[in-house]
Amino acid sequence: MAYDLLKGKKGIIFGALDENSIAWKTAESVHAEGGTFVLSNAPIAMRMGQIKDLAAKTGSQIVPADATSEDDLNALIAKSMEILGGKLDFVLHSIGMSVNVRKGRHYTDEKYDFTAKGWDVSALSFHKVMQSLYKADAMNEWGSIVALTYMAAQRVFPDYNDMADNKAYLESVARSFGYFFGKEKKVRVNTISQSPTPTTAGQGVKGFDGFISYAEKMSPLGNATAQDCADYTVSLFSDLTRKVTMQNLFHDGGFSSTGVSQEVIDYFSK
């Protein structure tokens, strides 16, 4: 159901790789709510992904950018304002990748140049995106910037590896930059802490299938899907949440507040 919540709003959506991506669902929902946007992804992902289909479906243009490159980001932001005809109202950072996870390196056996690369892509890139937006004065007042995170930033999930540390950094950047963006430009900055979701990035985590089933049983409302996340993001981009900023917002069906569920007790009482 659409409510025109984003009518007239313009933005950038990073990270739509394929139709499972959280950013893909978000792009579809933002489009349905009347928002217009530029789609961006790493140049390497553009060749593999089906982002062109999404662009056609949503009437969007694609501007490649490696989110670790300040030059790419500056060019993307300038080009986006040109394409969209003015400053931006929303930005979604939906980017993550751990080289240690990809190469099967255990948390106690990290290769630190892998760690540094994963941190740059998954965490520092959020600061880089915001610094580029800030310096270009590219955000309209009451704009909204959202990044995606996971609860491993607060609690240990052993196979989440160095992404846990990356997410802790990302959440801290949202608070710190949110202060300056709020004070100087009346722009809000939040992170959404999403349930495990079957996407390319999600399924890269070891033991993901067992883990997603466990989370489903532990969450009173069940896991939040990628589409649920898209809906929540639309609300954060809309004018209905103008005073929500510098928050890490759990979007997980209640998982983060549940000590144990009856289903899990029953399983261990067998």
Between 46 and 246, whose beta carbon lies closer to ligand NAI? 46
**Tokens 């961006």 map to which residue?**
40
Active site residue 160: yes
Tell me which of 3, 112, 134, 160 is the catalytic residue.
160
Binding stretches for ligand NAI (CB under 6 A): 14-15, 17, 21-23, 41-42, 45, 66-68, 94-97, 121, 148-150, 194, 196-197, 199-202
CA dihedral 107, 113, 118, 120 (to 10 degrees): 140
Nearer to ligand NAI, 14 or 181 (CB): 14
Structure token pair of residue 74: 């500056």
Q: Between residues 68 and 176, which has the closer beta carbon with respect to ligand NAI?
A: 68
Q: Are 39 and 51 in contact (CB under 8 A)?
A: yes
Which one is catalytic: 3, 107, 134, 150?
Answer: 150
The phi-psi region of residue 139 (left if phi > 0; otherwise alpha if psi is between -120 and 50; otherwise beta) is: beta
Instruction: Pick the closer one to ligand NAI by CB: 150 or 237.
Output: 150
21 is in an annotated binding site: yes
Nearest distance, CB of residue 247 and ligand NAI, angstroms:
16
Q: Least distance in Å: CB of 49 to ligand NAI? A: 7
CB atoms within 10 A of CB 122: 26
| 95 annotated binding-site participant | yes
Of the candidates 63, 48, 55, 52, the one whose C-alpha atom is nearest the C-alpha of residue 31 is 55
In whole angstroms, how far apart are CA 69 and each of 42, 64, 80?
10, 11, 16
The nearest distance, CB 200 to ligand NAI, in angstroms, is 3
Known catalytic membership, residue 214: no
- List the one residue out of 101, 80, 99 whose CA is nearest residue 14: 80
The catalytic site residues sit at: 150, 160
Binding residues: 15, 21-22, 95, 167
Binding residues for NAD(+): 15, 21-22, 95, 167
